[in-house]
Amino acid sequence: MRILFSENQQMEFTSTGNNHHFDFWMVNGQTHWARLPPKTIQGFSCELPICLQTGTASWGKTHIERKHKHWLETQSKNVCELLYEKLGQPGHFFSSEESSKVKLVMRLAPDALLILRHVENKTLGDFLTVTTMYQVPRHIDGAGIGRYLSNYRTTNQIT
């Protein structure tokens, strides 16, 4: 699908495969939607890209489309559009109940909470995959473990 943003950036969101749950969704041909410098999040000493995978009913793009459809509709955006927008805003990382996951809270309208799971992959390298994204609850559990800056988002555009 091809999207035109108000910033006059034409964005293209495509999949790397045929809807397998481990397929990646790309923004302008890149699987990395954002790149976190080393030590951005306490406990992670290497660069960590943020990726979106197709997923299942329990995680990823498929989960967000099904479980948070109403929220997406109120924002008049699909998963890819809203994720790209949110990753262009500042936020804060919080610890999660699960050691392999972190929470990314973004308070600029529309408020959003992203749950990211750390994936260790010998072929692709370590990355964070988006397991879910939804409207921020009033109270966030967990300790603050880092700051997210808007310039971490991948910015390549279609020419």
Distance CA 90, CA 68 (A): 22
Residue 13 resides in a domain: no
Output the pLDDT for position 7. Answer: 45
> CB under 8 Å to 22, separation ≥6 — which residues?
53, 54
Average pLDDT over residues 60-83: 96
Residue 21 lies in a domain: no
Residue 119 lies in domain: 32-152
**Quick one: pLDDT at residue 3?**
44
Whether 106 is covered by a domain: the verdict is: yes
Tally of domains in the chain: 1
Tell me if 9 is assigned to some domain: no
CA 46/CA 28 separation, integer angstroms: 24
pLDDT at position 19: 82
**Residue 99: predicted pLDDT:** 92
What number is the average pLDDT over the span 41-46? 93
CA geometry: angle 107, 110, 115, nearest 5 deg: 65
| Within a domain: 92 | yes
Q: What is the mean pLDDT of residues 138-147?
A: 93
**128-152: average pLDDT:** 94
Does some domain include residue 101?
yes
Contact call for residues 128 and 53 (beta carbons, < 8 A): no
Per the domain annotation, does 66 fall within a domain?
yes
Residue at 24 is within a domain: no
* Per-residue pLDDT at 62 exceeds 90: yes
